[in-house]
């Protein structure tokens, strides 16, 4: 299998196959994790691509601990940080992701990974093909993909914000209400019709309203006491 892989793609060398293959899997939100199952299956299917290219199954490591995390930064992505560390230590022969946006939606993070891959001789594979960051043409294409991925995130945010502002200007924007309040059929904010919930909230506020009122009544007394003490300290000794 190794000979076939080497003959089919000259970018793969015996040195690459001696190292580990890392498959990075990520969905941006937990809702996508549960609903976009087809994307998740496609990402896991890349593992078979690595086997076909010549990597033994025991040398393929799947990093999927960043599920539900945005690719806009690396702050909360322990999996991506681990991947960068492994690549920088020269342990990775290839890094795999369904598309560039799975790895990073930030040009700074993406180009940093490309630089480290080029220095360590690590290949990059996505659904479209296999790339060697040491080659100028491959690195140029990967850079363009990273730029497009970040631009796509900007466009998505702009569309969402535009829709929110448009609804707000028409007075049709609905925001999540606190517990105990709901929208009626006329889209007015009213108390929740659940009587048990209303009674619970009334009891809650009545419980804390008493101590708050006592605190307000004591505040002038405390202020006068403090002022009299300050005046006594400033009075000259007889």
Q: What is the pLDDT of residues 74-127, one digit of tens each?
A: 888 898 999 999 999 999 999 999 888 888 888 888 999 999 999 999 999 998
Domain extent for 232: 176-238
Query: Is the domain of 136 the same as that of 205?
Result: no
Per-residue pLDDT at 221: 47
Query: Is the domain of 104 the same as that of 143?
Result: yes
Query: Is the domain of 134 the same as that of 190?
Result: no
**165 within a domain of the structure (yes/no):** no
Name the 3-class secondary structure at 24.
Answer: strand
Query: Is the domain of 100 the same as that of 205?
Result: no
**168 within a domain of the structure (yes/no):** no
Query: Is the domain of 132 the same as that of 180?
Result: no
Query: Is the domain of 119 the same as that of 232?
Result: no
Using left for φ > 0, alpha for ψ between -120 and 50, and beta otherwise, residue 68 falls in left
Query: Is the domain of 72 the same as that of 126?
Result: yes
Query: Is the domain of 127 the same as that of 16?
Result: yes
pLDDT beyond 90 at 202:
no
Query: Is the domain of 194 the same as that of 117?
Result: no
Query: Is the domain of 150 the same as that of 49?
Result: yes
Query: Is the domain of 126 the same as that of 236?
Result: no
28 noted as active-site residue? yes
E strands, the chain, are 20-24, 60-63, 92-96, 123-125, 130-131, 181-183, 189-191
The answer to whether the beta carbons of residues 86 and 8 sit under 8 Å apart is no
Give percent of the chain above pLDDT 90. 36
Quickly tell me which residue has 């009544």 as its tokens: 217
Per-residue pLDDT at 3: 43
Q: What is the pLDDT of residues 24-70, one digit of tens each?
A: 998 888 788 888 788 888 899 999 999 999 999 999 999 988 888 88
Determine whether 172 is exposed, middle or buried from the number of CB atoms within 10 Å of its CB (0-12, 13-18, 19+): exposed
DSSP state of 179: T
Phi and psi torsions of 95, nearest 5°: -115, 130
Name the 3-class secondary structure at 62.
Answer: strand
Mean pLDDT computed over 160-169: 86
99 vs 4, residue with greater confidence: 99
Per-residue pLDDT at 6: 44
Out of 8, 28, 39, 70, the active site residue is 28
């Amino acid at each position: 299998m190794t000979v076939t892989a080497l003959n089919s793609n000259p970018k793969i060398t015996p040195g690459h196959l001696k190292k580990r293959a890392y498959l990075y899997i990520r969905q941006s939100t937990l809702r996508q994790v549960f609903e976009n199952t087809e994307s998740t299956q496609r990402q896991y299917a890349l593992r078979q691509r690595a086997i076909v290219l010549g990597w033994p199954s025991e040398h393929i490591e799947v990093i999927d601990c960043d599920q539900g995390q945005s690719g806009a930064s690396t702050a909360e992505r322990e999996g991506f940080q681990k991947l960068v560390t492994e690549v920088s230590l020269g342990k990775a022969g290839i890094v795999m992701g369904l598309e560039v946006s799975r790895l990073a939606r930030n040009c700074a993070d993406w180009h940093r990974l490309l630089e480290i891959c080029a220095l360590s001789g690590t290949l990059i594979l996505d659904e479209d093909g296999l790339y060697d960051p040491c080659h100028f043409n491959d690195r140029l294409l990967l850079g363009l993909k990273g730029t497009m991925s970040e631009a796509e995130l900007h466009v998505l945010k702009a569309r969402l914000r535009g829709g929110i502002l448009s609804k707000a200007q028409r007075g049709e924007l609905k925001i999540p209400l606190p517990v105990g309040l709901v929208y009626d059929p006329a889209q007015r904010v009213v108390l929740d019709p659940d009587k048990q919930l209303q009674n619970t909230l009334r009891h809650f506020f009545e419980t804390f309203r008493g101590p708050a009122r006592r605190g307000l009544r004591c505040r002038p007394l405390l202020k006068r006491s403090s002022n009299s003490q300050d005046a006594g300290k400033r009075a000259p000794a007889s």
